[in-house]
């Protein structure tokens, strides 16, 4: 099947992190909690990321069929070709999880994804072991790789947080904020991060998930995410709004939706951690304006988000006032 130009680019989450941090555990957790999403997992070789046996339905030399319509493919030395092949599958996957090797630099992988018309980078997620990450980052031979991996992240999944205690976890969050101040840090147990935090799934019109949801670990602990929907009834400066939603003070992991821009044209707004994009809306979109915000552990600050919306709208008002003033001066 040849990709239609009407097909939107496939979102790709790049998953990085050093050996033993928990990439395998995270990927299997996401597969077990796909909730109807068709996920495609792309690995350098099958041996580097074993899929839990009870999830596997069939396998051949290049592809493993997984429960729920998911697949796992190996790419060897041709990552770009494998991504193209996945984009041509029928039915297409909903999302691609691209696992980078333990010594790979996720930002280089992410840049490669950005070169393909058939794919778009959704997020760069880096796994870190709470017990060992600081020691690894101080190691003479590993430090440069570990630091660069962390700095490339939109989201850092701080795995095995239960093994270090709350005071140490708080200190570790502070250290990570100094090393990688662009990333959102999510503490987890057994890599049981809520899928909505790392996979693009928010309703584009802001009509979807709302409230709080928990991702269960094997030990019964829960990592909770909170989401809230917002409607837009008037134009805003879409880029201004996206930048405000990505601000550290709001603590949002994700925001996504359709917003009426300065000229009334609908735009797609996407925020992942501190990174944001404003893109053209899908062809033929005629729905309402709105977006969904996701935050982990604590509830979305609705008042702060409403204020961001008002400020993004006031940018247009200010521009209109300046224009009106200039016209009055010219007439005078």
- DSSP annotation of 21 reads S
One digit per residue, the tens of pLDDT, for the chain of length 332 reads: 344 556 788 999 999 999 889 998 999 999 999 989 999 999 877 666 678 889 999 888 778 899 889 999 888 778 899 999 999 988 899 999 999 888 889 999 999 998 999 999 999 999 999 999 999 999 999 999 999 999 999 999 999 999 999 999 999 999 999 999 889 999 999 999 888 888 876 444 444 444 555 544 444 444 677 899 999 988 999 999 999 999 999 999 999 999 999 988 899 999 999 999 998 887 667 778 999 999 987 899 999 999 999 999 998 866 544 554 444 444 45
Tell me the pTM: 0.85
CB 210 within 8 Å of CB 227: yes
* Beta-strand relationship, 254-260 and 289-296: antiparallel
Tokens of 216: 């269960």
17-45 residues labelled b (16+ CB within 10 A) or e (exposed): bbeebbbbbbbbbbbbbbeebbbbbbbbe
CB 130 within 8 Å of CB 175: no
Q: How far apart are CA 196 and CA 213, in angstroms?
A: 9
CB atoms < 10 A from the CB of 173, how many? 15
Coil, strand or helix: which one is 10? strand
Q: Which residues pair with 66 in a beta bridge?
A: 56, 70
CB 42 within 8 Å of CB 27: no
Among 196, 165, 192, 178, smallest CA distance to 293 is for 196
Q: What is the DSSP string of 132-186?
A: THHHHHH-TTTHHHHHHHHHT-SEEEEETGGGT-HHHHHHHHHHHHHH-TTSEEE
Length, in residues, of the chain: 332
Q: How far is CA 87 from CA 9, 59, 267, in A?
A: 8, 19, 24
pLDDT for position 6? 64
Q: How far apart are CA 306 and CA 231, in angstroms?
A: 10
């Amino acid at each position: 099947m040849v990709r239609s130009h009407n097909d939107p680019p496939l979102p790709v989450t790049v998953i990085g992190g050093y050996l033993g941090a928990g990439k395998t555990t995270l990927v299997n957790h996401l597969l077990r909690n796909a909730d109807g999403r068709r996920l495609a997992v792309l690995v350098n070789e099958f041996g580097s990321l074993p899929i839990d046996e009870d999830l596997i339905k069939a396998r051949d030399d290049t592809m493993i069929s997984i429960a729920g319509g998911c697949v796992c493919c190996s790419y060897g030395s041709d990552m770009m070709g494998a991504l193209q092949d996945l984009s041509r599958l029928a039915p297409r996957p909903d999302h691609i999880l691209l696992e980078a090797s333990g010594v790979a630099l996720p930002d280089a992988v992410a840049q490669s994804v950005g070169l393909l018309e058939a794919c778009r980078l959704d997020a760069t997620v880096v796994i870190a072991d709470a017990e060992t990450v600081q020691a690894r980052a101080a190691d003479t031979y590993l430090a440069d790789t570990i630091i660069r991996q962390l700095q490339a992240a939109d989201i850092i999944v701080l795995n095995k947080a239960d093994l270090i205690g709350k005071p140490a976890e708080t200190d570790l969050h502070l250290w990570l904020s100094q090393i990688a101040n662009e990333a959102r840090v999510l503490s987890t147990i057994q890599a049981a991060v809520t899928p909505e935090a790392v996979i693009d799934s928010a309703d584009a019109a802001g009509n979807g998930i709302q409230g709080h949801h928990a991702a269960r670990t094997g030990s019964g602990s829960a990592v909770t995410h909170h989401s809230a929907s917002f409607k837009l009834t008037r134009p805003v400066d879409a880029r201004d709004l996206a930048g405000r939603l990505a601000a550290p003070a709001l603590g949002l992991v994700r925001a996504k939706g359709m917003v009426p821009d300065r000229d009334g044209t609908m735009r797609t707004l996407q925020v992942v951690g501190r990174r944001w994009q404003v893109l053209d809306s899908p062809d033929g979109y005629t729905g309402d304006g709105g977006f969904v915000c996701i935050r982990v552990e604590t509830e979305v600050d609705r008042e702060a988000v409403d204020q961001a919306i008002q400020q993004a709208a006031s940018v247009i008002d200010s521009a209109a006032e300046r224009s009106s003033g200039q016209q009055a001066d010219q007439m005078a």
